[in-house]
Structure 1
Amino acid sequence: MSDKFTNPDTGVLYNKLGIADADELDTAVKRYSLSRLQELATGQTGPQSDTYDSARLRATHQHLFQDSFEWAGQTRREAEFQGVKAADLPGVERPMHFAPYARIDERLDALGAQLKQENNLKGLPTADAFAARAAYYFDHYNHVHAFREGNGRTLQATFTELAYQAGYQVDFSREHEKLNPARDQGIVSRHGAQHKEQDLQALRELLARNTNPLPGPEADAARHASQARPLLDGPSPAVRQMEQLRELVAATPAVQQLVAGLDYRRNQRADALLVQVLEIDRNPQTALPQHAPALRQLLQEVAQDKRFQDPVSQQEAQRFGSALHALQPSAQVLSTSSTLMTAPTQPAPSAATSFVQAAKQLVEGLNEQGYPGPADSLLRAAKAVEKSAYLGGANLEAVAGALGRAEKIPALAEDAAALRWAGRSLQEIQRSNPVQQSVLDRETNSPER
């Protein structure tokens, strides 16, 4: 993977210090950055805004690493660096996938906006209450992992200031060796979205043990209940989608292992699964409709495979399926029209396109297997859907007939499953608009001729 932050000749990060040895550079960067970290702790220098967005974190990183890196303050986005990291957890082999580099500023800004809605965690009367909400945000900022190097120190500086404004002092120097494993548990997310508190427990307890109320009237006022601004409706829409995407990515490695046992193409299909999920993470609006049918197909195969009927396998598949389902309402865009009877709303074009592609693939397979009749009927139905972006009436019957034939032929099972899922996806969108379905059922009562 390309890493534009690293000198290809030395394998060491580009730096101002002229150091070409990784260990020597690490020692020097720690010395300089810890000195700058102490400066920030005094509150006399560094970023002063009360919004913890991308600009704030960039400025904090720039201050901390100004002595070491010319690229201080630049995120992974500038160098298009993604990267995958192993978790600092014994016995855990799942990789940690951070936020897509192209979405870093967007996600930091969303977190900063929500944190500001929560009045930057003011009004929390106890260290435990502050630690619980701080752990939630620390985990999210850590998952964005905005920088190529120095994320930990940047977040320590950021949350030290956040705590100070909320009337608390957080000492990250105590139990420092426990911070990385605690924060990695949040990213690996072994327990899933429904039990996120378990994944954040170590981080929350670590922060609680090392957080103390500050003395003085200003700190007392910051902790006063009148300052509290709880999120009564839960996360903002932008942060909620981030959480759904995180859950989908975190659930993927276990499903990859299951998919790898399905057939002779197992490695390719498992790799393709990860690629599709990461594309959804990068651009859910367009990639989710494109890849959801194939992902559902894989889940159906896993659910029906006799080798995966144990509770753990079923639970992992269900977790992935739930994450996929949770994303759909926020990713699908259904147009509306006040003149629906005369100008029926069309389903998302990508759903119709996926169906047509899957249908034509199965048409080829049916012809190769010597079934030109069902193939011809299916092709006419596909052409009708291609024209109207709608599946119903006799066209639906033609599809059902072709599937009935294809599903009895082992060589066509995969193509048949892809078409069935594509058809269901298209019909789900159609069912969201019953008036349109009624109109088009009357208009499309026979296959394309």
Structure 2
Amino acid sequence: MTFDPFGDFETAGYLQNALQLKDPIEVKESEHLSFEASIEDALAFLQNEPLIDYGAVLKVHEILFSAFYHWAGRDRNELVPHLAVFKGMHGDPGSTVFEHPAQVRRAVDYALQLAGNSGRFRDRPGEVMGQLAFAHPFLDGNGRTILLVFMELSFRAGFAIDWSKTQKDLYLRALSDEIREPSTGHLDRYLQPYVIDICSRDEWPGGISDIKGLDGMDKEGITYESLDDPEVQQIYKTYRTAAHAPMTGEPKTEIEP
């Protein structure tokens, strides 16, 4: 099943990309070229942004992918508010449920709230990464956008993840487990051995563009269904969204340098 939320794959290509590409390999290559060409601009934006909030997350995506996707910087709730997005077929064992589009911003805000507690963040980095991944704000480019935001957030908390030592399959498995069972330590246990102290952004280890698997939650087995489907509605009624964002009142969503 081709991921075609706009319903125009045959005429506009995958997600209405600028080159109207349809072949998955060509899409991946061109999309990654856009990412590589824009990394420095995105990192400079984050470094100079006084507060990391939801608007900053949207802006990072726009900087990274606007050359390839005209809708870059706009979230799922704006683009396809009528669709639920899954990894795998919904209802299948092992499938991943991403946040309801109407709750995407709330989910990201909660991740930023968690990252605002530096001590907890360092001890539980997977909790923050898992929450950002669960939000799945964008139709594509989530992994790489989230990575840059996470790197800046963790730098402001005084640490980094040595991503160059992680393994794609193990990371994605832990990430999927974290989304299904949030805040139970799946991704914390995987990432903890790779936590390092950091004093300068120049110390970020490994080539960012060479990190493997960051698009795995975007292109591998992604499906979508109408939110009008009673089965999909039931999934969101029973899914433990509260475990991802158990908060009341206004969350603290701004992370200072």
Give TM-score scaled by structure 2 length: 0.68
Q: Based on CA coordinates, which of the two structures has the bigger radius of gyration?
A: 1
How many angstroms apart in 2 are the aligned matches of 1:82 and 1:4? 13
Structure 1 pair 45/172, CA: closer, same or farther in 2 (3 Å)?
Answer: same
* SS in structure 1 of the partner of residue 164 of structure 2: coil
Count of residues in Structure 1 that have an aligned counterpart in Structure 2 = 211
Say if 2:163 is the partner of 1:169: no
Equivalent residue for 1:143?
A: 134
How many angstroms apart in 1 are the aligned matches of 2:41 and 2:191? 22
Equivalent residue for 1:34?
A: 36
Q: Which has the higher helix share?
A: 1
Q: Deviations over 1:376-404 (max 9, x none)?
A: xxxxxxxxxxxxxxxxxxxxxxxxxxxxx
Equivalent residue for 2:62?
A: 62
The answer (yes or no) to whether the contact 1:111–1:141 under 8 Å persists in 2 is: yes
Letter in 2 for 1:186: E
Letter in 2 for 1:164: F
Equivalent residue for 2:171?
A: 179
Structure 1 pair 47/72, CA: closer, same or farther in 2 (3 Å)?
Answer: farther
How many angstroms apart in 2 are the aligned matches of 1:157 and 1:17? 25
Q: CA deviation at 1:167?
A: 1.8
How many angstroms apart in 1 are the aligned matches of 2:46 and 2:234? 41
Equivalent residue for 1:86?
A: 88
Q: CA deviation at 1:153?
A: 0.5
Letter in 1 for 2:138: F
The structure with higher relative contact order (CA 8 Å, sep 6+) is 2
How many angstroms apart in 2 are the aligned matches of 1:67 and 1:5? 21
For structure 1, list consecutive stretches of 5 or more residues without a partner in the other structure.
220-270, 282-319, 332-449
The answer (yes or no) to whether the contact 1:61–1:73 under 8 Å persists in 2 is: yes
Q: CA deviation at 1:154?
A: 1.0
The ranges of structure 1 where at least 4 consecutive aligned residues each deviate by more than 4 angstroms after the TM superposition are 271-274, 323-326
The answer (yes or no) to whether the contact 2:105–2:135 under 8 Å persists in 1 is: no
RMSD: 3.5
Alignment identity in percent? 20
Letter in 1 for 2:104: I
Structure 1 pair 105/8, CA: closer, same or farther in 2 (3 Å)?
Answer: farther
Q: Which has the higher strand share?
A: 2
Q: CA deviation at 1:205?
A: 3.4
Q: CA deviation at 1:130?
A: 4.7
The answer (yes or no) to whether the contact 2:98–2:135 under 8 Å persists in 1 is: yes
Q: CA deviation at 1:168?
A: 1.9
Equivalent residue for 1:76?
A: 76
How many angstroms apart in 2 are the aligned matches of 1:183 and 1:5? 29
Structure 1 pair 5/213, CA: closer, same or farther in 2 (3 Å)?
Answer: farther
Structure 1 pair 55/5, CA: closer, same or farther in 2 (3 Å)?
Answer: farther
The answer (yes or no) to whether the contact 2:87–2:95 under 8 Å persists in 1 is: yes
Say if 2:234 is the partner of 1:276: yes
For structure 2, list consecutive stretches of 5 or more residues without a partner in the other structure.
204-228, 249-257
